[in-house]
Amino acid sequence: MRLAGAIFDLDGTLVDTLPACYAAFRAACAGVGGPHYTDAEIRPLFGPSEEGMVQRALPERWPEALAILLEEYHRQLAHCGGVFPAVAASLGRLRASGVPLALVTGKGPQTTAMSLRHFGLEDVFATVETGSPNGIVKAAAIQCIVTAWAVAPDTVIYVGDAVGDMHASAEAGVRPVAAAWAPSAIASELAATAPHVLFETAEAFDAWLAGLLSPGAPSPARRRSGGSTPAR
């Protein structure tokens, strides 16, 4: 199989930015006298963009809360590491092979732009699709990109770290690639969605890509990689 395109999620896939997301949301809530949320309580709120999240959690003061969230997220980026090194290598490998790259994230346009700029990714992706305050739109965004590329969906991969990413990519008809290398990833939950392939290390993902992009490579089989055990 010729890989005709690769689409990536951002948080937890390219960079370990989820701690910054959690801290920014907590700061927004605290800044307007809202409730305190733990990381475990915040994660299920993901889906809509940050604007949608604060609109739902803090409906009376969401514009003020959003401003606080954006300021705190920008500040928190300084405490994040860089792009996962093996993922950076994968992006370079894909670009060198002429594979078109896109980003589909649930983040809003402001935090997406901050992240791409901070991590030096502004010129990596030909297409960037951000989230909506109204809810989850990843499947539709992936479908739009595949249509624009004029390729068969099953020749495109979507790489993401969340169960919702696997569902969205399957709905769009592309191959779901589960990225379980961030500290926040839960490999067993990702495996339960039956992704095309699951990796517990970014290095294993990069090695898989290298094989896939080599001349005469066969169609990638559905499998798990990176030292994981079969799902029960």
| Domain ranges for the chain | 5-16+82-225, 18-79
Q: Give the pLDDT band (50/70/90) at residue 227.
A: very low
What is the Cα–Cα distance from 136 to 168, expressed in whole angstroms?
9
pLDDT score recorded for residue 214 = 87
* Overall fold of domain 5-16+82-225: Rossmann fold (3.40.50)
Question: What are 78-114's pLDDT values in tens digits?
Answer: 999 999 999 999 999 999 999 999 999 999 999 999 9
Q: pLDDT tens digits, residue range 157-189?
A: 999 999 999 999 999 999 999 999 999 999 999
Taking the model in full, what pTM does it have?
0.91
Q: How far apart are CA 139 and CA 171, in angstroms?
A: 6
**Looking at this protein, which amino acid is placed at residue 53?**
M
Helix/strand/coil (H/E/C) assignment for every residue in 32-81: CCCCCCCHHHHHHHCCCCHHHHHHHHCCCCHHHHHHHHHHHHHHHHHHCC
pLDDT band with cut points at 50, 70 and 90 for residue 230:
very low
| Three-class DSSP category at 160 | strand
